[in-house]
Amino acid sequence: MSLKTKIGNINLNSCLFNASGVYCKIKEELSNLNTCNSVGAILTKSCTLESRVGNDPPIYWDDGSENSINSSGLPNMGYKYYIENEDIVKYDKPYIVSISGMCEEDNLKIVKETINNNDISGIELNLSCPNIEGKSQIGYDFEAMQNLISKVDLIISSMKSMRRNNFNFGVKLPPYFDMLHFRLVADIINNSSINTITCVNSLGNGLIINHISESVVIKPKRGHGGIGGSSIKSIALSNVRQFSLLTKCDIIGCGGIMNGIDAFEHILCGAKAVQIGTKFYMDGIDVFTFLEKDLLKIMRDKNYKTINDFCGKLKDL
Ligand code: DHB
């Protein structure tokens, strides 16, 4: 039995890896992901042109078992830290840079420079950061999204074919809730050279409150932030399902994966790999070993040998 998989142009020894944002901002955390055998890839914190300190704390809250809210405000070391990271050559698994520039020009500059480092396996272009005040999520502005993707596409398609074949163009989408939106976004993606889609980012601008203290639980934006954990699993599954049916891209599932069953469900809906956010935040690096065992146990019980034996094979009634 094996959790080996392929996402776009990238081979992974395990279908499990971190969601961008969780313990992946500094080199020590990135190395920690490299050291854990159950982790399939190393994904960086979303980066911007310049380093950022992010929002005033508290910026994260979880209930210790199921749900979380965050509004970090893109704290990161600046893109050079991630693309010039001298440890990359020592990593023995794919290294993917998440990019969330503050404007189109920044995104294009970072993409261009990322491609120039042959040791970087790909990008996850973040179209769904919900936590920058005054900035809407690109993934909800279809015109801006189309513009950015077509410009990144020009850069990617001008790459030499050798590099192009081992460079992965991924995007991370916000959750959608409307069938027309699924089709519109799938159309944009199908007219591009995008290889992978990560579904979904946190559910933007939710509000978790404490009824005892009668207050919000994080400081930024009067307590509003991205919701993660069990409460968004059903939304994540529908997005994984829809984009796996409507596009030719490989889908990376993210949202509400707390145990092996949740990972199994994502894969059944069409995910070829899954990212762990809230549960990684709560449990630390050991979560990957736990999830690997838990998912392999389900596969053993069902007599599945590989991810492909059940990937996307969800039955209709
Ligand atoms: C942040 C949160 C996100 O969901 C994201 O996609 C990028 C950045 C943040 O608050 O740092």
Q: Which of 68, 72, 202 to mutate to test the pocket of ligand 1 (most atoms within 8 A of CB)?
A: 72
Rounded to the nearest 10 degrees, how much is the dihedral formed by the CA atoms of 275, 279, 285, 286?
-110
| Helix ranges, the chain (H) | 27-35, 79-83, 104-115, 142-157, 161-165, 179-190, 233-246, 260-268, 278-283, 286-302
Distance (Å) of CA 179 to CA 34, 184, 206, 241, 303: 38, 9, 22, 12, 34
Report percent pLDDT > 90 for the chain.
96
Nearest CA to ligand 1 atom 7: 129
How confident is the model at residue 114, as a pLDDT?
97
How confident is the model at residue 178, as a pLDDT?
98
Over residues 62-110, the pLDDT tens digits come to: 999 999 999 999 999 999 999 999 999 999 999 999 999 999 999 999 9
Q: What is the mean pLDDT of the chain?
A: 97
Q: Supply the pTM of this predicted model.
A: 0.98
48 CB under 6 A from ligand 1? Answer: no
How confident is the model at residue 279, as a pLDDT?
98
100 CA closest ligand 1 atom index:
7
Strand 67-70 relative to strand 60-62: parallel, antiparallel, unpaired?
A: antiparallel
Per-block mean pLDDT, blocks of 10 residues, the chain (317 long): 98 98 98 98 98 98 97 98 98 98 97 96 97 93 98 94 92 98 98 98 98 98 98 99 98 98 99 99 98 98 98 98
Residue 201 Cα to ligand 1 midpoint, Å, equals: 8
